[in-house]
Structure 1
Amino acid sequence: MDQSDAYDDELPAGIGPHEGRELELMLAGEKPLAMFNDDLPEGMEPPEIAFDPYMAEGRFAKGEVVMPAPGFKNERLRYYFYALPGEEWRTARVIEILRGLIEQHLPTTPELETETGRLLGYDDADIQVFLDRFFRPEK
């Protein structure tokens, strides 16, 4: 769901990505799972710096997986996740979805994107806006 950079200008007021707000939302209990990878935008501090101290306090559970980097031969990319206590199952399901998309080269679908969005804590309105933009017909 965080592919939204290209669509940010088009999003209606009040609807938008969690990007950059994950920690705030998770500490408030409003986001059950945050997902990151090591392909960070230039100048972005690794989220682990902010998240790991809370993990040490038991506020979050961390999971990670390394998979082939999409679009790069012989390169690998680490994905890592922070889940609220009791929500670790979400990490396992997102990893399962990623394995299908990345390792098995399965196409994404509105259903998979909806499930992923819900696992990451987006509400249905946010997910629908994403789907309308990501899956809009070519003109």
Structure 2
Amino acid sequence: MKLVTGTEQEITDLTFQSFVFGAPFSCFLKGDAWNNETNTVGKNTTAWQSVEYSESLGSHYIIHIDEFTFTDKTFQSYKDEFYIDEETEYSELEQSILDRIPTGYEDYSPKQYVSEVVIGDNYSVIDF
């Protein structure tokens, strides 16, 4: 199992970014919505993983997003699915997804974006 390690603050920040790009996009497929204030996702999915501390690692950690199953749909495929034009009024769920798509990474899946760009070489990754 791959773990991402770092300080408590680093891993807490990573957890939030993983949630922003991972969980909401997967929940869209289930017709769910999410609430950033309570970090709760719809009826089928609850909050992203919590930050843990390991004495043996001497570090805080979370499980790497590569260990979880998410859709391989790209950001562009989400855009193509419901983007019509700038004047169209989108549902709250659609607008939230459109707002989260990082410019220049349309050919990435949300999971791939978190794995390669957000985590990338920015964190220590260990096989446990």
TM value normalised by structure 2: 0.30
**Structure 1 or 2: larger helix share?**
1
TM value normalised by structure 1: 0.28
